[in-house]
Amino acid sequence: MSDLQIAYFPHPALRWKSKDVTRIDAQLKDWVGQMFELMYAARGIGLAANQVALPYRLFVINPSGDPAETELEQVFINPQIIKRNGSEDAEEGCLSLPEIFGPVTRAERITVEAFDLNGEEFAYELGGIHARVVQHESDHLDGVMFTDKVAAEVLTELQPLLDDMTAQMKRQQQDGQIASDKELRAELQRLQAERTDG
């Protein structure tokens, strides 16, 4: 089975609007296990399928970030935020944007519905960091990054870092370390056809 890697900005998977998963199989479960490993290794608390170049609506979280606290691990497949209440500002980061941070306004409390790895539907009312990480990861599934949601003056400050990352990816593509955007998009399209109705 293929090894996943974290996709860094501006990988086209991060701008991909993913489709609902229609099949949960051994490959998908293996990918989810790898996503948890990558998330912990990078000291994150959430990781979306788009961030490992998989065009599926699913993400994993562990709000503690502690691999020992496996009881806090959650997999959200085809999640839908059906209710949002209140508003709260807090600093966010993203494993696809290392060392880039900025304040984002999000709903304070949410209700989210999703399916787990057994295909069972569940619903949660969440607040605090839990609500924030679910909103951040859900955005990834629509190709939205937290930097799309920071204030204009914050984005101006972050822009040189984003430009550096863009230049670095271009160099890696020219060196052949990373496939071209066109090839990366073709692979996303192929994977999408395998497990969605898209």
For Zn ion, the binding residues (CB under 5 A) are 94
Q: Output the smallest distance, CB 197 to Zn ion, in A.
A: 26
Of residues 7 and 24, the one with the C-beta less far from Zn ion: 7
Can you give the three-state secondary structure of 44-113, one letter per residue? CCEEEHHHHCCCECEEEECCCCCCCCHHHCEEEEEEEEEEEECCEEEEEEECCEEEEEEEEEECCEEEEE
Q: Output the smallest distance, CB 38 to Zn ion, in A.
A: 12
Q: Output the smallest distance, CB 104 to Zn ion, in A.
A: 11
Please state whether beta strands 58-61 and 46-48 pair in parallel, antiparallel, or not at all (unpaired): antiparallel
Of residues 44 and 78, the one with the C-beta less far from Zn ion: 44
Q: Output the smallest distance, CB 162 to Zn ion, in A.
A: 14
Of residues 8 and 115, the one with the C-beta less far from Zn ion: 8
Of residues 13 and 94, the one with the C-beta less far from Zn ion: 94
Of residues 136 and 195, the one with the C-beta less far from Zn ion: 136
Residue nearest to Zn ion (CB): 94
Residues 6+ apart with CB under 8 A from 72: 62, 63, 64, 66
Distance CA 35, CA 86 (A): 31
Of the residues 108, 137, 153, 194, only one is catalytic, namely: 137
**Catalytic-residue membership of 137:** yes
Q: Output the smallest distance, CB 60 to Zn ion, in A.
A: 12
Phi, psi of 111 (to 5 degrees): -115, 125
Query: In this structure, what is the dihedral angle of CA atoms 11, 9, 74, 124, given to the nearest 10 degrees?
Result: -100
Residues 6+ apart with CB under 8 A from 191: 54, 55, 56
Catalytic machinery residues: 137
